Amino acid sequence: MFIYLLKSIIPLMFIIIIAYGMVTGKKVYEWFVEGAKEGLKVNYKIFPYLLSMIIAVRIFKEARLLDMINNFLAPVVGLIGLPREIVPLILVKPISGSGALGVFTEILKEYGPDSYIGVVASVIMGTTETIFYTITIYYGAVGVKKIRHTLWAAIMADLTAIIMAVTIVRYFL
């Protein structure tokens, strides 16, 4: 019954919107077409930014830069109590959500979801953002060229989330 109800929501919304248009004399179909045109314009503006991010992430992965950076940062992150195994997740998450999900999945497969490393990775996945992707897409959509302090504020927010994740998980686990 519940599944049937879920599958019926969108068609029901369409029927309600069309009925509203018929009752009030509004031209809902024309509104739909105009909205679709605007959506295509936004997609046209965003596509180059999205493509550049996809290419950058692919180059980053193929060049094995992640492994080199992880090896370089391992001694530093050990000082703040961050497990070395989490560093790839922290490095990939600001760039690519799907890449971070892949790294996260590998962490859970190797260490388990209930391990200290698994719990820290889970909290980091839930509290950090794909900074570069988000800034690229949103600012690209509205045509902003200078991001000013947005990037640094976002990086500081992510670092705060990471430090708090490690601290809180260590305290409660």
Q: Which residues of 107-143 are buried (b: 16+ CB within 10 A; e: fewer)?
A: bbeebeeebbbbbbbbbbbebbbbbbbebbeeebeee
**What would the pLDDT profile of 101-154 be if each residue is shown by its tens digit?**
888 998 999 999 999 999 999 999 999 988 988 888 888 778 888 888 999 999
* 3 lies in some domain: no
**What would the pLDDT profile of 47-56 be if each residue is shown by its tens digit?**
887 777 778 7
* 8 lies in some domain: no
CB-based contact 117:111 (threshold 8 Å): yes
Average pLDDT, the chain: 86
* 112 lies in some domain: yes
Domain that holds residue 125: 47-172
**What would the pLDDT profile of 54-96 be if each residue is shown by its tens digit?**
787 678 777 788 778 888 888 888 887 888 889 889 988 988 8
* 118 lies in some domain: yes
Confidence of residue 157 (pLDDT cuts 50, 70, 90): very high
What whole-number percentage of the chain has pLDDT above 70? 98
Strands, E, within 17-63: which ranges? Answer: none
* 136 lies in some domain: yes
Number of domains in the chain: 1
* 75 lies in some domain: yes
